[in-house]
Amino acid sequence: MSKPLTENQKRVIREKYRTVNVKKLAKELSSEPGEIKVYIEQLQSELDKTRKRIFTFILILLPVLFIVFLELGLRVFKFGGDLSLFISAPEDVFDYMMCNPNVGRRYFFIQKTTPKPTKDLFLKKKPKNSYRIFVLGGSTAAGFPYGNNVTFSRILNHRLSDTFPDKRIEIVNVAMSAICSYTLLDFVDEILENEPDAILIYAGHNEFYGALGVGSLESLGKMRGFVKTYLKLKRFKTFLLMRNLIGQIRKLFSKTIYGGTEADPTDTLMERIVVEQSIPLDSPLYKMGEYQFENNINDILKKFRQFNVPVLISELVSNIRDVRPFISEKTDSLPPAEKVFQMAQSYEQQHQYDEANIYYYQAKDLDALRFRATERFNNIIHSTAAKWSFPVVPMKKYF
Query: Domain-by-domain residue ranges, the chain?
Result: 7-76, 86-315+391-398, 319-372
Looking at residue 2, its pLDDT comes to 61
DSSP E strand stretches across 138-185: 168-173
What is the identity of the amino acid at 283? S
Q: 314 phi and psi, to 5 degrees?
A: -100, 150
Alpha carbon distance 180, 216 (integer Å): 10
Let me know: does 281 contact 365? Beta carbons within 8 Å: yes
CA end-to-end distance (rounded Å), the chain: 105
Burial code of 108-147, b = ≥16 C-beta within 10 A, e = fewer?
A: bbbbeebbbbbebebbeebeeeebbbbbbbbbbbbbbeee
Burial code of 295-304, b = ≥16 C-beta within 10 A, e = fewer?
A: bbbbbbbebb
Tell me the pLDDT of the chain (399 aa) as tens digits: 567 778 788 787 777 777 878 788 777 777 877 877 777 778 777 777 777 788 778 888 888 787 788 778 877 777 778 889 999 999 888 899 999 999 998 888 777 778 899 889 999 999 999 999 999 999 999 988 877 778 899 999 999 999 999 999 999 999 999 999 999 999 999 999 999 999 999 999 999 999 889 888 777 777 888 888 888 888 888 877 877 777 777 667 655 554 544 444 445 665 666 767 899 999 999 999 999 999 999 999 999 999 999 999 999 999 999 999 999 998 888 999 999 999 999 999 999 999 999 999 999 999 999 999 999 999 999 999 999 999 999 999 998
DSSP E strand stretches across the chain: 86-88, 96-99, 121-123, 130-137, 168-173, 198-202, 311-314, 392-393
User: Which residues, in sequence order, are CB contacts of 9 under 8 Å at separation 6+?
Assistant: 29, 31
Looking at residue 262, its pLDDT comes to 47
Whole-angstrom CA distances from 345 to 76, 334, 373 are 62, 19, 21
Q: Which helix H or strand E contains 359, and what residues bound it? A: helix 353-366
DSSP label at 5?
A: P
Angle subtended at Cα 315 by Cα 149 and Cα 370, rounded to the nearest 5 degrees:
90
Let me know: does 167 contact 129? Beta carbons within 8 Å: yes
| Closest to 138 (Cα-Cα) out of 106, 182, 101, 105 | 182
How far, rounded to the nearest angstrom, does the alpha carbon of residue 316 sit from its chain's CA centroid?
Answer: 22
Let me know: does 172 contact 122? Beta carbons within 8 Å: yes
How far, rounded to the nearest angstrom, does the alpha carbon of residue 256 sit from its chain's CA centroid?
Answer: 26
